[in-house]
Each structure stands twice: as structure tokens, then as C-alpha cells.
């Protein structure tokens, strides 16, 4: 029995291409919510290690007395927040040309758990008018809002700007750099 040293594996061009495509998908997946946070009034804080962290105010609607969304504004902000969560999947879908429904289970699984948690909170407020059909329709409405945001030209320019900055900064942007990338993308659109 010989103890031969393991041979380094060789990666094909296809392997490299797939790896770079995955990096691109991740950059767009993280850029989408950051730009949506900004557009819907949740100040984005930073993106680090491929995780979008948001300002504490973006989840303040969960800090109501018994944990319910007791005011119309809290319910509206909860829905806006759910849209920002879905915006990562919407951006990835737009970039990759893959239907959003195909991304719900694998890359979007954690995001959709958050969205379903928000829908549960909303259901507590309107239990008598919130059945499974309404829940499914509300999810589709939240997805449609996220897609509509990503389809706005100035928003997409901002997403591309953030994705490009993420790539150049090895996946980490502080708040100042993130907001600058968003605003630069939006102003670049006006210059084009």
C-alpha cells in the first residue's frame, strides 16, 4: 500500500464559468434587498460576507405590544419589509433569466421563511379574512411588488452598481459605500 500524495484536481473552464456565475448571482441577490431597503425607506446598513444586514428600524414593526402588528402603519411597513426580502430573489431572477417561482426553494428558502413569518403576523391581525387563498394571493402580490421595483430602470442601475461594488470589494460594503453605490447607480442612469 502506497501513500501517494493526492493530485490537485483540475477545474474545467465550465467549472470556472459556473463558479463565477454563482458569484454573480450572489452579488445580485444581495444587491436587490439593499436597493429595495433604500427605495422603501429602510436605510441599508451594510453588506458583509454575502449577508445583507439592515438598520434596526427596518424591523421595528415587530416590536409592538403583544408582538402583533397593531397599527395600519406597522402592517404597511411589514409588507414593505417583506417586499425587500423578496427583492433579492427578484434581482437574481432578473439577472439570471430564471422565473422567480424556481428560486423560492433553494436560494430563496431562508428569505421565504422570513416572508411567511411576516404573513403569519399579518394573519393575526385579520384572521377572519385571511385564509389560505388570501395568503397565497398576498404572497404573489408581495412578489409582484418586488419584481416591479427591480424592473424600474433607475433601480436596476442601482442594483448593478451595488453588485459591481460588491465584486470589487470582495463582498463587503459599509453603509457609506453601499449608499454611495446605490446613488451612483441611480445618477448613472440619468446620465445615460
Least confident of 5-9, 122-126, 143-147, 185-189: 5-9
Grid cell locating 154 = 433607475
If one compares 29 and 148, the residue with the highest pLDDT of the two is 148
Least confident of 119-128, 136-145, 167-176: 119-128
Side-chain half-sphere exposure of 85, counting CA atoms within 13 A: 23
Instruction: Render pLDDT for 64-74 as a digit per residue (tens, 0 to 9).
Output: 445 567 788 88
Say how far apart CA 143 and CA 185 lie, in whole Å: 23
Say how far apart CA 124 and CA 38 lie, in whole Å: 28
Query: For residue 86, what is the enclosing H or E element?
Result: helix 72-96
Place of cell 424600474: 152
Say how far apart CA 124 and CA 105 lie, in whole Å: 25
Report residue 114 CA to chain centroid gap.
11
Phi first, then psi, for residue 44 (nearest 5°) are -65, 140
Give the pLDDT of residue 9: 59
Place of cell 453603509: 175
Grid cell locating 192 = 445615460
pLDDT band per the 50, 70, 90 thresholds, residue 147 = very high
Angstrom CA distances, 176 to 47, 67, 97, stand at 11, 32, 30
Specify whether the CB–CB gap between 45 and 55 falls below 8 A. Answer: yes
Grid cell locating 102 = 424556481
Question: What residues form DSSP beta bridges with 44?
Answer: 54
Instruction: Render pLDDT for 154-167 as a digit per residue (tens, 0 to 9).
Output: 999 999 999 999 88
Residue 24 pLDDT exceeds 80: no
Specify whether the CB–CB gap between 125 and 135 falls below 8 A. Answer: no
Amino acid at each position: 500500500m502506497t501513500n501517494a500524495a493526492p493530485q490537485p484536481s483540475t477545474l474545467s473552464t465550465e467549472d470556472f464559468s459556473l463558479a463565477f456565475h454563482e458569484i454573480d448571482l450572489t452579488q445580485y441577490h444581495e444587491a436587490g434587498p439593499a436597493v429595495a431597503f433604500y427605495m422603501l425607506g429602510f436605510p441599508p446598513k451594510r453588506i458583509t460576507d454575502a449577508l445583507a444586514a439592515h438598520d434596526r428600524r427596518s424591523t421595528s414593526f415587530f416590536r409592538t405590544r403583544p408582538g402583533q402588528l397593531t397599527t395600519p402603519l406597522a402592517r404597511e411597513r411589514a409588507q414593505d419589509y417583506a417586499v425587500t426580502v423578496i427583492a433579492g430573489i427578484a434581482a437574481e431572477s432578473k439577472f439570471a433569466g430564471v422565473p422567480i417561482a424556481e428560486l423560492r426553494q433553494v436560494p430563496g428558502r431562508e428569505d421565504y421563511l422570513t416572508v411567511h413569518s411576516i404573513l403569519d403576523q399579518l394573519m393575526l391581525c385579520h384572521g377572519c379574512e385571511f385564509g389560505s387563498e388570501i395568503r397565497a394571493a398576498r404572497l404573489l402580490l408581495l412578489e409582484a411588488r418586488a419584481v416591479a421595483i427591480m424592473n424600474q430602470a433607475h433601480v436596476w442601475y442601482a442594483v448593478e452598481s451595488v453588485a459591481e461594488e460588491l465584486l470589487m470589494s470582495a463582498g463587503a460594503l459599509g453603509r457609506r459605500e453601499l449608499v454611495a453605490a446605490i446613488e451612483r447607480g441611480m445618477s448613472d442612469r440619468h446620465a445615460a
